[in-house]
């Protein structure tokens, strides 16, 4: 299989150091359009779509492979192998933070550092951990997803985006949710929200930046601090940006933080 076609991989920019951008659940590589122009003069940029998202090869979707985040992490590794990449700076949003972490644990030499925007190691609360959601919260969300997919998208998008002064962004996210195959999106959602990667955090051996948004309903402050506390060699930055998608709602601040971390 042509991995680059499977994941709709785009490569551009002028530098020798590679920045690999990985989108979040229900999104595609277009979500990075406000960020990548700031780096393409100095870096090689690689963007892609997970199988089942954007313009990826839908025929390549395998429910067994993608029944856990490890299947998506394998895509990252295969993409790097196909482009002969190593020592990349991985920039992941939301669930991609843990996907990148899993890939890094498996193939550490491929990664120079991890930049995590809105990471969560586990979304579900338990007796000793606060993830932001109860099992009942998520099962209710999935019930709506099963019976009223359009209604689910229109409800969740503004919650994720948060910035009511920019309603066009919530509309874009809603359209992105709806553009994805509903059956694949349901499966990806369950894998995303019911994964538990807490034990994986301490296995990371590369420097990591945790970018924590303000008023993030998907990955609240407690989650970001937990991730940062449990990853060796981590740096935590609290953003002024609100919501869960600062690369769309607050691109200037997002660019500044990434640039400062890379430069340092």
The tokens for 139 are 């099962």
User: Catalytic: which of 244, 247, 249, 250?
Assistant: 244
Q: Which of 241, 259, 255 is nearest to 33 (CA)?
A: 255
Q: What is the CA radius of gyration of the chain?
A: 17
The tokens for 80 are 């790097």
Pair type for strands 44-47 and 10-13: antiparallel
User: What is the dihedral angle through the alpha carbons of 63, 180, 74, 195, rounded to the nearest 10 degrees?
Assistant: -70
Q: Is 250 a catalytic residue?
A: no
User: Catalytic: which of 56, 94, 104, 176?
Assistant: 94
Q: Is 94 a catalytic residue?
A: yes
Contact 242, 163 (CB under 8 A): yes
Three-state DSSP class for residue 162: coil
Q: Is 183 a catalytic residue?
A: no
Farthest-apart Cα atoms in the chain, separation: 49
- Angular region, 204: left φ>0, alpha ψ -120 to 50, beta rest: beta
Q: Concatenated DSSP letters for 39-85?
A: TTTTSEEEE---TTSTTS-GGG--TTGGGSHHHHHHHHHHHHHHHT-
Question: Which residues sit opposite 18 in a β-bridge?
Answer: 44
User: Catalytic: which of 28, 75, 200, 216?
Assistant: 216
Q: Which residues are part of the catalytic machinery?
A: 94, 216, 244
């Amino acid at each position: 299989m042509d991995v680059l076609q499977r994941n709709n991989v785009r490569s551009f920019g002028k530098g020798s150091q590679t920045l690999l951008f990985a989108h979040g659940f229900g999104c595609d590589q277009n979500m990075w359009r406000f960020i990548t122009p700031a780096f393409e003069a100095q870096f090689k940029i690689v963007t892609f779509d997970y199988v089942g998202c954007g313009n990826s090869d839908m025929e390549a979707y395998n429910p067994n492979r993608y029944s856990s985040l490890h299947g998506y992490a394998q895509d990252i590794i295969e993409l790097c192998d196909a482009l002969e990449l190593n020592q990349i700076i991985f920039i992941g949003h939301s669930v991609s933070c843990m996907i990148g972490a899993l890939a890094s644990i498996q193939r550490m030499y491929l990664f120079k550092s991890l930049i995590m925007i809105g990471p969560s190691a586990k979304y579900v609360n338990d007796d000793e951990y606060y993830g932001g959601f109860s099992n009942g919260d998520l099962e209710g969300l999935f019930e709506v997803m099963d019976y009223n997919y359009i209604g689910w998208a229109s409800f969740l998008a503004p919650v994720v985006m948060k910035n009511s002064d920019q309603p066009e962004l919530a509309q874009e996210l809603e359209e992105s949710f709806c553009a994805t195959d509903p059956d694949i999106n349901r499966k990806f959602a369950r894998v995303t929200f019911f994964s538990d990667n807490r034990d994986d955090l301490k296995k990371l051996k590369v420097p990591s930046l945790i970018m924590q948004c303000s008023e993030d309903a998907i990955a609240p402050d407690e989650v970001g601090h937990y991730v940062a506390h449990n990853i060796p060699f981590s740096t935590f930055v609290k953003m002024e940006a609100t919501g869960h998608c600062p690369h769309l709602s607050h691109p200037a601040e997002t660019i500044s933080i990434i640039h400062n971390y890379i430069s340092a």
